[in-house]
Amino acid sequence: MRLRDAFLLAAVTALTAGAPARGQELTGTLKKVKESGAITIGTRDSSVPFSYLDGDQKPVGYALDICLKVADAVKTHLKLDKLDVKFNPVTSATRIPLIANGTIDLECGSTTNNADRQKQAAFTNTHFLTATRFVAKKDKGLTKTDDLKGRTVVSTSGTTNIRQINEINTARSLGMKILPAKDHAEAFLMVETGRADAFVMDDVLLASLVAGSKTPDAYAISSEAQSKPEPYGIMLRKDDAPFKAVVDEATAALYKSPEGKALYEKWFTQAIPPRGINLKLPMSEAMQKAFANPSDSADPAAY
């Protein structure tokens, strides 16, 4: 009896120990993608060069290329023969709700990773570092924050930038009239047509809008920043650790590889579609460190 009991105990122990490994079921986004055979990427209309529409109205960009690499990694992880990659347009205002409700699985644009947003969504490793500045027509002579006193200023709705400029406006009693725009293109158009004196946004996005404008020499980006350096990251659903692990592994491998540097150079130092503009923004020392040591930290001090 003792031998039989010992055998039964060993068998039960083995079955119990093997159950999680053998019976571990997919959850969250990985389960959704496995069952549907598709992954949905949130794209932007005018976040050049991160995520925007080319001359054929197809989504392209630096962040989009990263997301396509992530999709390949998910396909490999799930051992799928085929994975349908779908694109769903998002705006600054809709990106977090569409991540949260499952409409999109990855948000591939120019989204700042900060502590407030981490309460609503998760981020993978940083793919760019930026800071808030403003663009204005040169003939207005606006270069510093205090120059905006009493001016009409626009920023994109749902961004950290519009929150920052509102806080500055209140703290310094500058009396600015701050208008929300639905997207970056509309905001820049308001400056272009004189409906606003300045557009407050991430400096790299302002640089891309100026470079792609009809008269690039007519604009100047402020010498003074309205924020500390801030990280961009691909956004995904909060509390989905298995999916985040796959995404983090894929992005870390990409950023540390020669392919990651080549991808950066493709979008920031070479002519890009549809008009062949070149942003001429070589990788900074801080960005090189961020690629060498991938991190999803929202703390500017981490970079």
Q: Which percentage of the chain shows pLDDT scores above 70? A: 92
Chain segment 34-89, per-residue pLDDT in tens: 999 999 999 999 999 999 999 999 999 999 999 999 999 999 999 999 999 999 99
d(CA 5, CA 94): 61
d(CA 94, CA 238): 16
So what's the pLDDT on residue 296? 97
- Average pLDDT of 118-132? 97
Q: Where in the chain is the domain with CATH 3.40.190.10?
A: 27-129+231-302, 132-227
pTM exceeds 0.85: no
State the SS3 of the chain. Answer: CHHHHHHHHHHHHHHHHHHHHHHCCCCHHHHHHHHHCEEEEEECCEECCCEEECCCCCEECHHHHHHHHHHHHHHHHCCCCCCEEEEEECCCCCHHHHHHCCCCCEECCCCECCCCHHHCCEECCCCEEECEEEEEEHHHCCCCHHHHCCCEEEEECCCHHHHHHHHHHHHHCCCCEEEEECCHHHHHHHHHCCCCCEEEEEHHHHHHHHHCCCCHHHEEECCCCCCCCEEECCEECCCCHHHHHHHHHHHHHHHHCHHHHHHHHHHHCCCECCCCECCCCCCCHHHHHHHHCCCCCCCHHHC
The CATH architecture annotation of domain 27-129+231-302 reads 3-Layer(aba) Sandwich (3.40)
So what's the pLDDT on residue 12? 40
d(CA 178, CA 279): 28
* Domain 132-227, CATH among 3.40.190.10, 1.10.3720.10, 3.40.50.1820, 3.40.50.300: 3.40.190.10
Number of Cβ atoms within 10 Å of the Cβ of 25: 7
Of the candidates 259, 278, 275, the residue with the CA atom closest to the CA atom of residue 267: 278
So what's the pLDDT on residue 220? 94
So what's the pLDDT on residue 248? 98
What distance lies between CA 174 and its chain's CA centroid?
A: 31
d(CA 195, CA 153): 9
d(CA 204, CA 279): 9
So what's the pLDDT on residue 280? 85
- Average pLDDT of 223-229? 91
Chain segment 171-202, per-residue pLDDT in tens: 999 999 999 999 999 999 999 999 999 999 99
Chain segment 250-295, per-residue pLDDT in tens: 999 999 999 999 999 999 999 999 999 999 888 988 899 999 999 9
